[in-house]
């Protein structure tokens, strides 16, 4: 038993132990390699899953943005717009409470208070053909607000001189003027001017408050203006607007006039009433409208013309205007081609009156194209009528014109300047 035990505990040879250790190392290496492979495999799967998840998330975000972006942008824009609107509202609220612009209504009130004592209501006996025809054609009669035989005027001198429209007081019977304090007076006509449609009448009254003439006759487009008169018989009515345009040449009856254009509400009965600025100064006389009632376009005779006519009527009782004594028309396209003019210009002489004609006496001929009076270009026949009409009778004018010579197949254009002494415009 003892030998066997000793035998069993005999030492293992070195070579055997070396082989055993080598097998353990190999086994360990194999297991380590397997572990690394397993880890690598798991890592690869994790990376793949991560990339797939990231791709899915990116795709979802892109899809979400694709559908949600317009809504988000709209909400952002709305928020910005709403914020801007609120800010603008707040500024406007504060400004209207503190700014001088808040006083615009007060300005209108003050203008009315300053001008109203100078504005009169005019009533004429009988129907005036001028009122019911040329200026206020086919105005329907109203039982509540009659407008026929009525108009307005403005006191321009404390001696009782009143400016109004010629068509308000011409061809009428008695003329009654009612002041703002309700006093009534019978007026007489001092004189009138057919070209500008202005008339001067006079009343014998005291304690009159005349209107102030505009200190500056330069009236830019956009200037605030107020119109006061008796639309449809409603006395002392005031309306507000702006100057829409300057130098509007419009045909009123058989004459061409140079107007201020405004959008102040002017209706039948406003004729002859004042157009004033924000200082209550006269800048024009309301004269005409487009159509039978207010449509946003009104015309007024400019103050510089009104004052000139007033002074001449006071001095002479009439306006002795220059007269060329010719019949005119605007040249046609064919006639312009003959004169080698690419754009419309000038006024063409078509004839002369049977009586004396200053133009004919000084060498003007039918067919002449008048292009300039002194240094003022003639754009059309309306401009020529105004240029000559604003000259005094007996004054001299240098008329620049073109005349066709030669035959119709080969016309030549000759340019001439002719000195003409203007005659006096025939009486009404």
Active site residue 395: no
The listed CATH number (2.30.42.10, 1.10.540.10, 1.20.1250.20, 2.60.40.1120) that belongs to domain 322-424: 2.30.42.10
Tokens 């001929």: give the residue.
365
Burial group, residue 295, by CB count within 10 angstroms (0-12, 13-18, 19+): exposed
Give the integer Cα–Cα distance in Å for 416 and 372. Answer: 11
Give the integer Cα–Cα distance in Å for 37 and 127. Answer: 119
Query: How much is the pLDDT for 422?
Result: 94
Judged against a pLDDT cut of 90, whether residue 282 lies above it is answered with yes
Catalytic position from the list 167, 230, 258, 298: 167
Residue 382 to residues 127, 303, 369: CA-CA distances in angstroms?
A: 30, 20, 14
Query: How much is the pLDDT for 89?
Result: 66
Q: Which of 31-45, 129-143, 236-250 has the highest mean pLDDT?
A: 236-250
Active site residue 192: no
Active site residue 368: no
Judged against a pLDDT cut of 80, whether residue 225 lies above it is answered with yes
Query: How much is the pLDDT for 3?
Result: 47
Instruction: Compute the CA torsion angle 14, 19, 25, 31 (nearest 10 deg).
Output: -150
Give the integer Cα–Cα distance in Å for 371 and 309. Answer: 27
The mean-pLDDT minimum among 245-254, 295-304, 361-370, 416-425 falls in 245-254
Helices (H), 219-369: 303-316, 333-338, 358-361
Strands of 224-307, DSSP E? 224-229, 237-252, 255-262, 274-276, 281-289, 298-302
Catalytic position from the list 170, 271, 298, 357: 271
Mean pLDDT of the 234-254 span: 82
Query: How much is the pLDDT for 253?
Result: 56
Q: Are 327 and 351 in contact (CB under 8 A)?
A: yes
DSSP state for residue 127 in the 8-state scheme: -
Contacting residues for 146 by C-beta, under 8 A, at least 6 apart: 232, 233
Compute the half-sphere exposure of residue 195: CA atoms within 13 Å on the CB side of its CA: 25
238: left (phi over 0), alpha (psi -120 to 50) or beta: beta
Verdict on whether the full-model pTM lies above 0.85: no
Q: Which residue has the higher pLDDT, 289 or 122?
A: 122
Burial group, residue 38, by CB count within 10 angstroms (0-12, 13-18, 19+): exposed
- The CB density around residue 134, as the number of other CB atoms within 10 Å, is 14
Judged against a pLDDT cut of 60, whether residue 147 lies above it is answered with no
Q: Which of 47-61, 66-80, 159-173 has the highest mean pLDDT?
A: 159-173
3-state secondary structure of 386: helix
Q: Which residues pair with 397 in a beta bridge?
A: 420
Burial group, residue 314, by CB count within 10 angstroms (0-12, 13-18, 19+): middle
**pLDDT-based confidence at 130, cuts 50/70/90?**
very low
pLDDT tens-place string over residues 172-192: 889 999 999 999 999 999 999
Q: Are 243 and 219 in contact (CB under 8 A)?
A: yes
Catalytic position from the list 197, 258, 263, 368: 197
Q: Does domain 110-316 have CATH number 2.40.10.120?
A: yes
Helices (H), 9-159: 14-98, 104-115, 129-130
């Amino acid at each position: 038993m003892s030998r066997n035990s000793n035998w069993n505990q005999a030492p293992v040879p070195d070579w055997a132990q070396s082989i055993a250790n080598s097998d353990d190392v190999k086994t360990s290496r194999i297991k380590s390699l397997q572990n690394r492979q397993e880890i690598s495999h798991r890592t690869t799967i994790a990376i793949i899953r991560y990339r797939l998840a990231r791709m899915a998330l990116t795709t979802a975000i892109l899809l979400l943005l694709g559908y949600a972006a317009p809504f988000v942008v709209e909400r952002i824009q709305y928020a910005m717009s709403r914020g801007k609107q609120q800010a603008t509202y707040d500024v406007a609220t504060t400004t209207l409470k503190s700014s001088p612009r808040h006083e615009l209504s007060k300005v209108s009130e003050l203008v009315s208070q300053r001008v109203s004592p100078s504005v009169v209501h005019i009533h004429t006996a009988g129907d005036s053909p001028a009122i019911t025809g040329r200026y206020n054609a086919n105005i329907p009669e109203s039982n509540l607000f009659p407008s026929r035989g009525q108009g307005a005027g403005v006191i321009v001198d404390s001696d009782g001189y009143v400016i109004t429209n010629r068509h308000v007081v011409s061809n009428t019977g008695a003329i009654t003027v009612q002041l703002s304090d309700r006093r009534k007076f019978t007026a007489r006509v001092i004189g009138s001017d057919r070209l500008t449609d202005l008339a001067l009448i006079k009343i014998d009254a005291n304690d009159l408050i005349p209107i102030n003439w505009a200190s500056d006759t330069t009236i830019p487009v956009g200037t605030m203006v107020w119109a006061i008169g008796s639309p449809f018989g409603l006395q002392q009515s005031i309306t507000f607007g702006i100057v829409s345009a300057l130098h509007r040449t419009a045909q009123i009856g058989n004459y061409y006039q140079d107007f201020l254009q405004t959008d102040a509400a002017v209706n039948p009965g406003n004729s002859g009433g004042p157009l004033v600025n924000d200082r209550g100064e006269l800048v024009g006389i309301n004269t005409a409208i487009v159509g039978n009632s207010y449509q946003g376009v009104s015309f007024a005779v400019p103050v510089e013309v009104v004052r000139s006519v007033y002074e001449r009527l006071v001095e002479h009782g009439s306006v002795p205007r220059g007269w060329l004594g010719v019949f005119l028309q605007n040249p046609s396209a064919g006639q312009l081609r003959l004169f080698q003019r690419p754009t419309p210009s000038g006024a063409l002489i078509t004839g002369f009156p049977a009586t004396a004609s200053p133009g004919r006496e000084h060498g003007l001929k039918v067919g002449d194209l008048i292009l300039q009076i002194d240094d003022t270009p003639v754009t059309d026949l309306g401009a020529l009528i105004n240029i000559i009409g604003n000259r005094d009778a007996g004054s001299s004018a240098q008329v620049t014109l073109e005349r066709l010579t030669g035959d119709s197949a080969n016309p030549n254009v000759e340019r001439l300047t002719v000195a003409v002494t203007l005659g006096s415009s025939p009486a009404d």
